């Protein structure tokens, strides 16, 4: 490594090789599932007005307070690299007047998010999410269907994660609940861990989520959110659970599950795994019935989810196999032209083909072919030969074109 070498910025990463394959596999799988559920893609900007996130994610949240990439552009606008997708989707829903068409809208998106955090396993400053939002539906049917859709994606990726759900109710009863919780926590404050002592003020719901054993114990008898919700909210929650059971989806009710973004109402859920270190939440979402209104749109119930692609990647060990590879090797330079044309023909016929571009001994070329994972090698000379790298068998042909016909049957499924 010399002093001219420039390295990637902290918290950013290059995704290449097998990781790029996993990335694509995840995005394509999700896309197929979204398609089945009749969601429409929306490609959103990476840069937004800062106030969009302040007013949606929440002014006091960590994301807004200390994790956003905020800067002023040359026109003096205060902008931010998006730290999450929902805010932009809602902004677009309003700004593009999607509600004017009536009915309801189902959108999905994919792409990079940016948060200035300390990097760690499964956590980067630029990370990637797939996500989906449903605008204009109130029914718990939509909650159930969204959760089922996430589960479908995870299933098709071969990823196991447990589902935890909770309800946060409406803002009014949540506020009453938080007051009561704060009162309760003040009494037990001495038994809480240091971090939680400060959380009593800033974010009492988080205390319930604390991993420290003493905190878990001393909050065992803490008031429960469900005791503060009006009957209709409870009924809604019961309905959702009914639907999930009907769909055969296992879930754990976790009354301590809270989410870090301010906009959630009623349903929240997380898919969690223990297999990838401390950052185990792999997909999460919930309902946000007031957000569209808060951002200047007409009152519109809505819900959505997002999944972290990097974290999903950690849970995938292999992507489904691809087409078999054939490597074309000209034996000497005088056969370069023939090999070039042959490779071109093979690709036209749909075969995955590597024309061996590097000069060197035949031995070194064979080594390369082997490393590329070639199943077949074609030696191009007066009498072209086809070698099966697995069996070692070798056949001689009259012309290069003859080989193509034979290969086609063996390579293409």
152 is a site residue for RNA (CB under 7 A): no
143 is a site residue for RNA (CB under 7 A): no
State the nearest-atom distance from the C-beta of 5 to RNA, in Å: 10
Tell me the window of 19-27, 60-68, 163-171, 347-355 that interacts with RNA (CB under 7 A).
60-68
Tell me the window of 23-31, 164-172, 233-241, 385-393 that interacts with RNA (CB under 7 A).
385-393
Q: Between residues 244 and 374, which has the closer beta carbon with respect to RNA?
A: 374
Cα gap 331→405, rounded to integer Å = 21
Q: Starting at the earlier edge strand, list the strands of the sheet with 70-72.
A: 47-49, 78-81, 70-72
* Site mask for RNA (CB under 7 A), range 386-405, x = bound: -x-xx-x-x-----------
Is the Cα dihedral 138, 141, 147, 150 positive or negative? Answer: negative
| Number of amino acids touching RNA (CB under 7 A) | 70
Instruction: Spell out the residues 6+ positions from residue 9 whose beta carbon is closer than 8 angstroms to its own.
Output: 125
Cα gap 182→304, rounded to integer Å = 29
Q: Which of 43, 250, 317, 332 binds RNA (CB under 7 A)?
A: 332
127 is a site residue for RNA (CB under 7 A): yes
Tell me the window of 1-9, 99-107, 291-299, 340-348 that interacts with RNA (CB under 7 A).
1-9
* Site mask for RNA (CB under 7 A), range 297-316, x = bound: ---------xxx-xx-----
Residues numbered 179 to 218 that lie near RNA (CB under 7 A) are 195, 199, 203, 206, 209-212
- Report the b/e string of 269-308 with b at 16+ CB within 10 A: bbbbbeebeeebbbbbbbbbbbbbeebebeebbbbbbbbb
- Cβ atoms of 72 and 315 within 8 Å: the answer is no
366 is a site residue for RNA (CB under 7 A): yes
Q: Between residues 12 and 37, which has the closer beta carbon with respect to RNA?
A: 12
21 is a site residue for RNA (CB under 7 A): no
* Site mask for RNA (CB under 7 A), range 251-290, x = bound: --------xxx--------x------xxxxxxxx------
State the nearest-atom distance from the C-beta of 102 to RNA, in Å: 30
Q: Starting at the earlier edge strand, list the strands of the sheet with 376-380.
A: 352-355, 325-330, 376-380, 385-388, 394-396
Cα gap 217→191, rounded to integer Å = 9
* Site mask for RNA (CB under 7 A), range 93-122, x = bound: ----------------------x-xxxxxx
5 is a site residue for RNA (CB under 7 A): no
State the nearest-atom distance from the C-beta of 138 to RNA, in Å: 22
Q: Which of 17, 322, 361, 409 binds RNA (CB under 7 A)?
A: 361
Cα gap 264→339, rounded to integer Å = 61
- 3-state SS of 155-219 is HHHCCCCEEEEEECCCHHHHHHHHHHHHHHHHHCHHHCCHHHHHHHHHCHHHHHCCCCHHHHHHC
61 is a site residue for RNA (CB under 7 A): yes
Token pair of 413, please? Answer: 């499924």
Is the Cα dihedral 220, 221, 222, 223 positive or negative? Answer: positive
Cα gap 355→328, rounded to integer Å = 5
Position of tokens 């990823």?
159
What residues make contact with RNA under the rule CB under 7 A? 1-3, 7-11, 61-63, 67, 84, 115, 117-124, 127, 129, 195, 199, 203, 206, 209-212, 259-261, 270, 277-284, 306-308, 310-311, 331-332, 360-364, 366-367, 369-371, 377, 379, 381, 385, 387, 389-390, 392, 394
């Amino acid at each position: 490594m010399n002093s001219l070498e420039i390295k990637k910025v902290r918290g950013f990463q290059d995704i290449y090789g097998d990781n790029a394959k996993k990335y694509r596999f995840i995005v394509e799988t999700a896309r197929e599932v979204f398609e089945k559920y009749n969601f429409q893609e929306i490609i959103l900007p990476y840069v937004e007005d800062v106030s969009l996130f302040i007013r949606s994610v929440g002014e006091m949240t960590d994301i807004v307070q200390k994790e956003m990439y905020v800067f002023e552009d040359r026109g003096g606008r205060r902008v931010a690299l998006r730290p999450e997708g929902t805010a932009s989707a809602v902004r677009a829903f309003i700004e593009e007047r999607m509600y004017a068409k009536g009915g309801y809208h189902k959108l999905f998106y994919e792409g990079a998010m940016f948060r200035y955090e300390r990097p760690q396993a499964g956590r980067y400053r630029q990370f990637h999410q797939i996500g989906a939002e449903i605008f204009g539906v109130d029914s718990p049917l939509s909650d159930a269907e969204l959760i089922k859709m996430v589960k479908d994606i995870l299933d098709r990726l071969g990823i196991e994660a447990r589902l935890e759900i909770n309800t946060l109710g409406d803002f009014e009863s949540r506020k009453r609940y938080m007051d009561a919780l704060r009162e309760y926590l003040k009494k037990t404050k001495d038994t809480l861990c240091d971090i939680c002592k400060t959380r009593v003020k800033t974010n009492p719901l988080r205390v319930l989520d604390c991993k420290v054993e003493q905190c878990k114990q001393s909050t065992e008898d803490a008031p429960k959110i469900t005791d503060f919700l009006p009957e209709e909210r409870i009924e809604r929650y019961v309905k959702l659970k009914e639907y999930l059971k009907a769909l055969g989806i296992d879930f754990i009710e976790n009354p301590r599950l809270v989410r870090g973004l301010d906009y959630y109402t009623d349903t929240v859920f997380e898919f969690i795994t223990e297999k990838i270190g401390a950052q185990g939440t792999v997909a999460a979402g919930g309902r946000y019935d007031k957000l569209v209104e808060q951002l200047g749109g007409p009152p519109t119930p809505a819900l959505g989810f997002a999944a972290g692609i990097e974290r999903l990647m950690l849970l995938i060990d292999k992507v489904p196999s691809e087409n078999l590879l054939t490597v074309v090797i000209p034996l000497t330079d005088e056969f370069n032209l023939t090999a070039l044309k042959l490779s071109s023909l093979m690709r036209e016929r749909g075969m995955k083909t590597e024309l061996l571009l590097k000069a060197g001994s035949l031995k070194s070329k064979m080594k390369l072919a082997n490393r590329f994972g070639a199943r077949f090698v074609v030696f191009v000379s007066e009498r072209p030969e086809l070698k099966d790298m697995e069996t070692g068998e070798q056949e001689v042909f009259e012309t290069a074109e003859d080989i193509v016909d034979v290969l086609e049957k063996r390579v293409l499924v």
